[in-house]
């Protein structure tokens, strides 16, 4: 027969187990990252928002926990039409959290956060369309879109108050054109850049034409002026040469005839197979038979240079001239090339303002046969010597002739 002590020990062990199970089922822990609802037969009887250990009716109450942290909602890309009817594709994401767990439970039921995301996404998309549809696309594509995102957040927050949640922030991650409009947009941008490039090229060609025209004009003016000066110098030199020839030949006509005959022989007798048909006693062969010394009539007294050679101006020695920039104006009186940034090349000063002085060349005056020019006066240059009067030249004394 069992004793009472053994009977009590047999009953106490199961009782302790039952008591432990009842105590464990009546206690639950609320994490600091969660909020808890105590439901009794599907009805909310208690809300636990503070972290720690809480008590419920065992086997009768159930506990439902919800995340108390900030949650994210990425939206799918959606097309919006701004105020200027330019379609855009917008991506966005929202940050939200549960503020009223009782209302949240009543709104979404047993599905929890997944059902809340499904209901919250249309609210955010509707707010994006309403706000972005009231502004032009330039505001949407600009860097400063904070005010637009704040308007979207406020609009979504007002529409989501019945869900027991709070929209903390809404951000636009991407704003782009639809795929079918990208090609047309790129083509329009390319055409605009090509038009700007063509304008720049046209302006460059215009400036180049102005520069080239100014350079061509300067070349023509410098060449013409240089040619003019060359002709003037050549004419003065020819006049000086002719004066010298006239003085030399005028002193002895026979010498002039002899020199001309030698030139004729040089030109006629070139060594080729040439034939001359003329009489042997022709004047052309006079200086082949005789040098004409018996007909020479040189002056007995050396004759100085005549006035034609002495008064001819000597060529000016080339000197270094200062370079100056020519002043060339257009029809409006503005410096040529100023608007195109053209700077004319500096040229010698004499080419900018060419001298217009008349030539001082005196035509040669040959003395007549038997006429001698007098000696120049003391202290008087040879250029001032005047021709001798029309008198017979006196023969030199015999002793002077013998001495020479």
pLDDT tens-place values along the chain, 404 residues long: 456 666 666 777 777 777 777 777 778 888 888 888 888 887 888 888 888 888 787 878 788 888 889 999 998 888 888 888 888 889 899 999 999 888 898 888 888 888 899 999 999 999 999 999 888 888 888 877 888 999 999 999 999 888 889 999 999 988 887 777 777 778 888 999 999 999 999 999 999 999 999 899 989 989 999 999 999 999 999 999 888 878 777 777 777 777 778 877 777 777 677 677 777 777 777 776 676 666 666 655 555 555 444 554 554 544 445 666 666 565 566 665 555 455 656 655 655 544 445 444 444 454 454 444 444 443 344 433 344 334 333 333 343 333 33
| DSSP code string of 296-342 | ----SSPPPP-HHHHSSPPPPPP----EE----B-TTSSBTTTTTT-
Which position has the token pair 């419920």?
56
Instruction: Give the global pTM.
Output: 0.44
The helix/strand/coil state of 49 is coil
Per the DSSP assignment, residues forming a β-bridge with 80 are: 88
Considering the domain architecture, whether residues 87 and 173 belong to the same structural domain is answered as yes
Q: Containing domain of residue 104, as a range?
A: 71-177
Other beta carbons within 10 Å of 164: 19
Query: How high is the pLDDT of residue 232?
Result: 93
Q: Which of 15, 33, 68 is the last residue of a domain?
A: 68
Q: How big is the chain by its Cα radius of gyration, in Å?
A: 62
Name the domain count of the chain: 2
The three state secondary structure string of 137-198 is HHHHHCCCCHHHHHHHHHHHHHHCHHHCEEEEEEEEEEEECCHHHHHHHHHHHHHHHHHHHH
The answer to whether residue 31 is domain-embedded is yes
Query: How high is the pLDDT of residue 178?
Result: 78
Which position has the token pair 């942290």?
69
* Orientation angle between helical segments 101-108 and 113-132, nearest 10 degrees: 90
Strand 43-48, strand 34-40: pairing: antiparallel
Which position has the token pair 């007098």?
374
The answer to whether residue 93 is domain-embedded is yes
Question: Could you tell me how far CA 196 lies from the centroid of its own chain?
Answer: 13
CATH at 111? 3.30.479.30
The answer to whether residue 89 is domain-embedded is yes
The answer to whether residue 314 is domain-embedded is no
Q: Which of 68, 102, 130 is the last residue of a domain?
A: 68
Query: How high is the pLDDT of residue 106?
Result: 87
Considering the domain architecture, whether residues 121 and 135 belong to the same structural domain is answered as yes
CA distances 202 to 194, 198, 205, 210, 326, Å, are 12, 6, 5, 12, 28
CB 151 within 8 A of CB 124: no
The answer to whether residue 394 is domain-embedded is no
């Amino acid at each position: 027969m069992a004793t009472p002590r053994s009977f009590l020990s047999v009953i106490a062990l199961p009782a302790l187990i039952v008591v432990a199970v009842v105590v464990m089922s009546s206690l639950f822990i609320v994490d600091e990252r969660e909020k808890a609802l105590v439901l009794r037969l599907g009805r909310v009887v208690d809300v636990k928002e503070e972290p720690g250990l809480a008590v419920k009716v065992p086997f009768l109450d159930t506990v439902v926990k919800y995340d108390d942290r900030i949650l994210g909602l990425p939206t799918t890309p959606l097309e919006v039409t701004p105020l200027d009817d330019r379609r855009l594709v917008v991506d966005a994401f929202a940050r939200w959290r549960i503020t009223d767990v009782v209302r949240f439970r009543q709104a979404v039921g047993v599905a929890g956060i997944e059902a809340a995301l499904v209901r919250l996404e249309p609210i955010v998309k509707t707010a994006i369309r309403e706000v972005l549809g009231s502004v032009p696309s330039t505001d949407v594509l600009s860097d400063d879109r904070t005010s637009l995102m704040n308007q979207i957040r406020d609009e979504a927050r007002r529409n989501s108050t019945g869900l027991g949640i709070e929209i903390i922030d809404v951000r636009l991650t991407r704003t782009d054109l639809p795929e079918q409009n990208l090609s047309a947009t790129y083509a329009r941008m390319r055409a605009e850049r090509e038009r700007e490039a063509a304008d720049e090229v046209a302006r460059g060609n215009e400036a180049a034409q102005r520069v080239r025209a100014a350079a061509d004009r300067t070349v023509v003016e410098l060449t013409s002026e240089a040619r003019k000066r060359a002709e003037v110098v050549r004419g003065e030199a020819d006049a000086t040469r002719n004066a010298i020839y006239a003085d030399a030949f005028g002193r002895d006509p026979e010498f002039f005839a002899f020199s001309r005959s030698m030139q004729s022989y040089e030109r006629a007798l070139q060594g080729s197979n040439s034939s001359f048909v003329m009489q042997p006693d022709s004047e052309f062969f006079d200086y082949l038979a005789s040098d004409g010394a018996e007909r020479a009539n040189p002056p007995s007294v050396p004759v100085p240079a005549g006035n034609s050679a002495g008064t001819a101006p000597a060529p000016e020695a080339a000197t270094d001239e200062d370079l100056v920039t020519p002043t060339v104006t257009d029809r409006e009186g503005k410096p040529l090339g100023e608007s195109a940034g053209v700077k004319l090349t500096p040229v010698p000063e004499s080419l900018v303002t060419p001298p217009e002085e008349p030539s001082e060349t005196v035509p040669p005056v040959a003395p007549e046969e038997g006429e001698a020019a007098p000696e120049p006066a003391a202290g008087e240059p040879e250029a001032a010597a005047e021709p001798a009067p029309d008198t017979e030249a006196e023969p030199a004394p015999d002793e002077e002739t013998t001495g020479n």
